[in-house]
A = this chain, B = another copy of it.
Amino acid sequence: MKKIVLLGAGSTAFTLELVRDLVLTKALEGCRVCLVDIDEKRLKDAAAVAELYRAEIEAEIGIEAHTDRRIALEGADYVICAVKIGGYGPLEKERKIAEEHGYYRGIGDRVSCYYGGVGAYWQIRFVEEVVRDMKELCPDALLIQTSNPVFEATGYATKYLHANAVGVCHGHWGYKEIARILGLDPEKVTGEVMGFNHCVYLTDFRYEGKDAYPLIDRWIEEKSEAYWKSPQYNTLNSFHKCPDALSPGAVDAYRQYGLMPIGDAVRSTSPWWHHTDMAAKEKWYGTNGGFDSEICWNAYLAQKDEQREAIGNILRDGTPIVEKYPLRRSNEQHIRIIDAMESDCYTRLTLNIPNKGCIPGLPEDILVEIPAMVSARGIQGIRMPAFPPKLMNNVILPRMCRANNIMEAYHTGDRSLLVLELMNDHRTRSYEQAKALIDELLAQEWNRDAAEHYR
């Protein structure tokens, strides 16, 4: 009887999605799912929704709820971590402080919540604590890290703590979005992406087995201009079904670097000059400036609250939950990993694991997002071709340096390294400017521990 722990289960939508994947997985019949959250109210709701779902479809799994993660971790086989420490409030306040210092939309990453605050301190610290608990309570368990920053937090766990961990994200599926815009059947398309989390590029793209990159080239040549004028692209709700997979920004990155950026990479690792102000964001990512602009990101946060309320309502509602959330597999890979390991069914996924030579030219111990083969023998990376030099030297290696700075600053508690990393930000005009911002961020109430840590 396998024991699966979900940390951060109070995020009901995600919990429900995992439960649906779980009950569809034969190899996991009879397993115990331990939901963990420190927010009692949200944990109770999430557990009730999960239990409702289980009962309706009469699935043979056990569902438990714990506010103490150490009880849940005892003897666990898999630990899924979806915890975002501190919510979005402090993050938005940090962004505002950074803007006062000359950093439009804040510092750290162009994807709005990636680091969850200065130096990714709280997120890395939480993973470190979980790994420490796991080594004591379930030393053979696999940590499936899914909250951001997947790159730095999981990378810290594997590189610095030598943890048995894998990072999971769904961003790599973005190539299906490209297929959709091209008018291709996404089911007939295959793709390979690689890089780092939120910094992945499409190295191979095929339609019915044949190279489909020329179809992208032709679409850019013949159809891109019309698409960028279409309501489909310029929808007000551009934050919802992100149509930026073939935005001018994505196409420009492709022209600059030689491969298509995929998923969040479209915005996260696009050139700095796409993000200097709202006008630039609109030029490259469409009306409202794309998902991370002040307009779309605020709309997203509001929608998140609504969504949470909607799921909460299910409990008072009375209509069968499976009607609203039909029994089908999600695009998430968490349960697929467990399935492949338990059933020993070779499954190709795209995961974040230590490189170990899979991407040429990158260190052995850096965490890369690559196609991997999962089975009872674990997660085996698939050897990939080298990146084009333009991409390697202007995106991949610089992004790796940033991650290394973030992880090393956490590891050493060296505040000057946080400043040094900010000196690499193209908007920094002087050392004093960067230092003043880092000091002010760390002086905030919610960062008291971080200020102690970074000396």
Contact = CB atoms under 8 A, between A and B. Distances in A.
Contacts of A273: 423, 430-431
A303 interface: no
A394 B424 contact: yes
Contacts of A417: 390
A397 B431 CA distance: 21
A397 B397 CA distance: 7
Interface in A261-297: 271-273
A361 interface: yes
Interface string A415-451: 0110011011010101100000000000000000000
A86 interface: no
A332 B399 CA distance: 39
Copies in the complex: 2
A401 interface: yes
A389 interface: yes
A30 interface: no
Contacts of A397: 397, 400-401
Contact of A401 (B255, B272, B394): B394
Interface in A385-420: 389-390, 392-394, 397-398, 400-402, 404-405, 408, 414, 416-417, 420
B389 A393 contact: no
A408 B390 contact: yes
A388 to B, nearest CB: 9
A313 interface: no
A154 to B, nearest CB: 18
A393 B430 CA distance: 20
Interface string A54-78: 0000000000000000000000000
Interface of A: 255-256, 271-273, 361, 363, 389-390, 392-394, 397-398, 400-402, 404-405, 408, 414, 416-417, 420-421, 423-424, 426, 428, 430-431
11 contacts: A255-B416, A271-B431, A273-B423, A273-B430, A389-B405, A390-B405, A390-B408, A393-B404, A394-B401, A394-B405, A426-B426
A-B complex: 6 closest residue pairs judged by Cβ atoms: A393-B401, A393-B404, A389-B408, A397-B401, A393-B405, A273-B431
Given A256-B420, A361-B363, A393-B408, 13 more contacts: A255-B416, A271-B431, A273-B430, A389-B404, A389-B408, A390-B414, A393-B401, A393-B404, A393-B405, A394-B420, A394-B424, A397-B400, A398-B401
